[in-house]
A and B are shown apart, each in its own frame.
Chain A
Amino acid sequence: MPWTRMLADGYANGALPGADSTQRMLTYSQALREAQAMAMAADPNVIVMGEGVDDPGGIFGSTLGLHTEFGPDRCFDLPIAENASTGMALGAAVAGLRPIYVHMRMDFMLMGMDQLVNHVAKWRYMTNGAQKAPLVIRALIGRGWGSAAQHSQSLQGMFMQVPGLKIVMPVTPMDAKGLLLSAIADDGPVLCVEHRWLYSRQGHTPEEMYFVPLGKGAVLRPGRDVTICALSQMVCEALAAAEELAAEGIEAEVLDMRSVKPLDEDLLLESVSRTGRLVVADTGNVMAGWSAEVAALVHEKAFDQLRGPVQRIGLPDIPTPASCVLEDAFYPGKEDIKAGVHRLLARDMAPNRKTGGIHG
């Protein structure tokens, strides 16, 4: 069994919220595959391309057999040429196709930065909407098994800096299907970042075609004491942390933000206005990352509601190490999230400080 499956399957024990064995269940990778197959069946312009998309593993099952079902013209392998392939996806989109370009590792996307950042993200704006760029880039992230510095990066924060790109990070199989379908249907470029540890997780996935809106998060667990706003696999860590916090009498609200960009500001600010406390948990780097943006936003727009400083849980400003001992020290998890919650509760301040203070 490949190591990636071992790790991911080992992680997949906990069922996701909403899972109910009487309902139709799919794994995350099956849900991704179903989304693409449905889009390809519905629209002859949808194509899937990428290194290894037609190989026997089918990108951990997520493109499995699409090349036989829809033909090698519509699901095909590519040379190891990420920059030109990204440009080709753009040109195909400009000419009316809806390409889905898959990167087995997000790290490889960096080879296509020029086309992605300078061209894909800007083509629509530079032509004032005369041309659209309806393409999806799927990028897999992961962790563990000594993957080390170049096979583990979670770079959504970097791409947030680029106007014109939308970014989604589905957690549940239901959202994997619905968000990917929305991404394919969108007229702008969308980056879909998928955590390998979620691939084997099962969840209820409706059979029909449905669309989960881009830019909308979801409350996975309601709570009144603290908001934990998380992305991707860190949502699972947040749920586990919330479960344990409940045993201590702390009711944590867990938000699965689902879209990195556009960010669901309304959901976030509404939750923080009730709890007054925010812990942000990201799979990426803390330094100038998604958690920094969320923290800044909440300080700008909900400062008066905060009972303490926003706690950020993410990766340190260090490349990923290989040794499992170092990995354990490197990656945050539910314990870090719980610690963030405890820090907030320990130094609790009264909200609504504008009525107090030295002039109050």
Chain B
Amino acid sequence: MTASDTSAASLEHLREHGFALLERMILIRQFESRVQALYAEQEMRTPVHLCIGQEAVPSAVCSCLRDADHIFSSHRCHGHYMAKGGDLNRLAAELYCRSEGCSGGKGGSMHIVDVERGVCGTTAIVGGSVPIALGAGLASSLRRDGGVSVAFFGDGASEEGTFHESLNIAALKTLPVIFVQENNLYATSSHVRNRQAYDGGASLARGYGMPACRIDGNDAVAVHQAALEAVARARRGEGPSFIECLTYRWMDHVGAGDGLEKGYRSREEWDDWVRRCPVKALEERIVEAGVADSGQIAAVYERVNGRVDEAFAFGKASPWPGAMTLSENV
């Protein structure tokens, strides 16, 4: 395939999927930005790990999935939940730790769930989501229901033992699992080059005998193409795939600031990644390709902002959990 063929395929892909992808990305961006804006009120009393800047990966991967497919995520999980279609009101309510939150106020920002949409739960232990996703894949494999299980995790996860154990098991047992590594370069404030002797998770995944690629995680179309291929392979019963997505979080590891004052990353680096905003990039491509005009995109923002307003109003108004619920569902 020549470069022009590739770009032609990409253009076709953009025309077919671009607008729907953009809608998901705008939802995540606007919701997370609202968390950021409201966090200083100190009414969301739970540590938030925002994914602003990383919206392309969850949107592109989850748009290849069905409700019945299972996803497992990490502490930076809001985007995955929303991209998979998780209930927005209940997510906001969980951030306020209220009774109508998706986890009844027991999970908080790092433990969110929407069973109907296949959001099976999220873990705040690095690498924790990876083996759990194997199990849902195992269940689909046993039942031959064509289901796919996705593990979302960050760059730090490939330093954990579970990562290696899990890739081996998934390949050995030909499980319908897709490993999606969001390599945003930092684990809290440690740069990946200070932590990894290898060059990214995809380089390791190949050693476990599965197709693996490293792609621009801010290019929603590229991620979508890779995910479609991986999902199709899994549904055909051909086993796991690995997608490493290079991306960047605009916010600090945790909280509503950008953390630039801490000095672990430079303003120049940050500016460079913000210029490569995945949402703006897709908007520009969509307008350029004539898929939609700026008025249609503005209408998406308006609609999404309305949904976000509603979700946060719901969350704030939701009653606190009764103290009696403390000992329920242990």
A residues in contact (CB < 8 Å) with B: 47, 73-74, 78-79, 81, 83-97, 99, 114-115, 118-119, 123-131, 163-164, 188
Over the window 250-262 of chain B, the binary record of Cβ atoms lying under 8 Å from chain A Cβ atoms (1 yes, 0 no) is: 0000000000000
User: CB distance B168 to A130 under 8 Å?
Assistant: no
User: CB distance A87 to B162 under 8 Å?
Assistant: yes
Give the residue of A93, A96, A115 whose beta carbon is less than 8 angstroms from that of B128. Answer: A115
B237 interface residue (CB < 8 Å to A)? no
> Of the 9-residue stretches B48-56, B137-145, B216-224, which lies at the interface with chain A?
B137-145
Q: Can you sample 29 A-B contacts with CB below 8 Å?
A: A78-B169, A79-B168, A79-B172, A83-B165, A84-B130, A84-B165, A84-B169, A85-B165, A85-B169, A87-B128, A87-B131, A91-B135, A91-B136, A91-B149, A92-B138, A93-B135, A94-B136, A95-B138, A96-B139, A114-B128, A114-B162, A115-B132, A118-B123, A124-B329, A126-B103, A128-B103, A128-B104, A128-B105, A128-B325
Give the residue of B105, B113, B137, B161 whose beta carbon is less than 8 angstroms from that of A91. Answer: B137
User: CB distance B165 to A126 under 8 Å?
Assistant: no
Give the residue of A95, A99, A127, A164 whose beta carbon is less than 8 angstroms from that of B107. Answer: A127
Complex: chain A residue closest to B104, CB-CB: A128
B29 interface residue (CB < 8 Å to A)? no
Give the residue of A84, A96, A163 whose beta carbon is less than 8 angstroms from that of B330. Answer: A163
User: CB distance B113 to A131 under 8 Å?
Assistant: yes
B134 interface residue (CB < 8 Å to A)? yes
User: CB distance A87 to B130 under 8 Å?
Assistant: yes
Q: Which residues of B contact A127 (CB under 8 A)?
A: 103, 106-107, 111, 113, 121, 329
Give the residue of B113, B114, B120, B138 whose beta carbon is less than 8 angstroms from that of A88. Answer: B138
Over the window 293-330 of chain B, the binary record of Cβ atoms lying under 8 Å from chain A Cβ atoms (1 yes, 0 no) is: 00000000000000000000000000000000100111
User: CB distance B330 to A119 under 8 Å?
Assistant: no
> A187 CB to closest chain B CB, in angstroms?
10
User: CB distance B103 to A84 under 8 Å?
Assistant: no
Q: Report the separation of the CA atoms of residues A93 and B142 in the bound assembly, to the nearest whole angstrom.
A: 13
Q: Which residues of A contact B328 (CB under 8 A)?
A: 128-129
Q: Report the separation of the CA atoms of residues A270 and B140 in the bound assembly, to the nearest whole angstrom.
A: 49
Q: Which residues of B contact A97 (CB under 8 A)?
A: 135, 138-139, 142
B133 interface residue (CB < 8 Å to A)? yes
Q: Which residues of A contact B103 (CB under 8 A)?
A: 126-128, 130
Q: Which residues of B contact A81 (CB under 8 A)?
A: 165-166, 168-169
Shortest 9 CB-CB contacts between residues of A and residues of B: A91-B135, A87-B131, A84-B165, A128-B104, A129-B329, A81-B165, A92-B135, A95-B139, A84-B131
User: CB distance B329 to A128 under 8 Å?
Assistant: yes
Complex: chain A residue closest to B173, CB-CB: A76
Q: Which residues of B contact A119 (CB under 8 A)?
A: 123, 125, 128, 132
User: CB distance A128 to B107 under 8 Å?
Assistant: yes
Complex: chain A residue closest to B123, CB-CB: A119
For chain B, give the interface size range.
35 or more
B102 interface residue (CB < 8 Å to A)? yes
Known: A127-B103, A188-B330. 4 other contacts (CB 8 A): A83-B162, A84-B169, A88-B166, A91-B134
Q: Which residues of A contact B121 (CB under 8 A)?
A: 94, 123, 126-127, 131
User: CB distance B138 to A91 under 8 Å?
Assistant: yes
User: CB distance A115 to B142 under 8 Å?
Assistant: no
B81 interface residue (CB < 8 Å to A)? no
Give the residue of A79, A90, A125 whose beta carbon is less than 8 angstroms from that of B132. Answer: A90
B289 interface residue (CB < 8 Å to A)? no
How many CB-defined contacts (below 8 Å) exist between A and B?
Answer: 143
Task: Report if A92-B136 is in contact (Cβ < 8 Å); known contacts: A79-B168, A118-B123, A130-B113.
Answer: yes
Q: Which residues of A contact B166 (CB under 8 A)?
A: 81, 84, 87-88
Q: Which residues of A contact B142 (CB under 8 A)?
A: 47, 73-74, 97
Complex: chain B residue closest to A90, CB-CB: B132
B76 interface residue (CB < 8 Å to A)? no
B152 interface residue (CB < 8 Å to A)? no
B72 interface residue (CB < 8 Å to A)? yes
B281 interface residue (CB < 8 Å to A)? no
Q: Which residues of A contact B249 (CB under 8 A)?
A: none
B38 interface residue (CB < 8 Å to A)? no
User: CB distance B162 to A84 under 8 Å?
Assistant: yes
Q: Report the separation of the CA atoms of residues A114 and B123 in the bound assembly, to the nearest whole angstrom.
A: 11
Q: Which residues of A contact B130 (CB under 8 A)?
A: 84, 87
Complex: chain A residue closest to B133, CB-CB: A91
Complex: chain B residue closest to A124, CB-CB: B329
Q: Which residues of A contact B102 (CB under 8 A)?
A: 130
Complex: chain A residue closest to B321, CB-CB: A128
Q: Report the separation of the CA atoms of residues A163 and B106 in the bound assembly, to the nearest whole angstrom.
A: 14
Complex: chain A residue closest to B125, CB-CB: A118
Which interface residue of A86, A90, A127, A131 has the most chain B CB atoms within 10 A?
A127
Which interface residue of B72, B102, B104, B162 has the most chain A CB atoms within 10 A?
B162
B20 interface residue (CB < 8 Å to A)? no
B70 interface residue (CB < 8 Å to A)? yes
Q: Which residues of A contact B9 (CB under 8 A)?
A: none
B115 interface residue (CB < 8 Å to A)? yes
User: CB distance B330 to A85 under 8 Å?
Assistant: no
Q: Which residues of B contact A78 (CB under 8 A)?
A: 169
Q: Which residues of A contact B115 (CB under 8 A)?
A: 130-131
Q: Report the separation of the CA atoms of residues A188 and B329 in the bound assembly, to the nearest whole angstrom.
A: 9
User: CB distance A88 to B132 under 8 Å?
Assistant: yes
Q: Report the separation of the CA atoms of residues A188 and B325 in the bound assembly, to the nearest whole angstrom.
A: 18
Q: Which residues of A contact B137 (CB under 8 A)?
A: 91
Which interface residue of B130, B133, B138 has the most chain A CB atoms within 10 A?
B138
User: CB distance B106 to A125 under 8 Å?
Assistant: yes
Give the residue of A84, A96, A125 whose beta carbon is less than 8 angstroms from that of B134. Answer: A84
Q: Which residues of B contact A88 (CB under 8 A)?
A: 131-132, 134-135, 138, 166, 169
Residues facing A in B59-90 (CB within 8 A) are: 70, 72
User: CB distance A95 to B131 under 8 Å?
Assistant: no
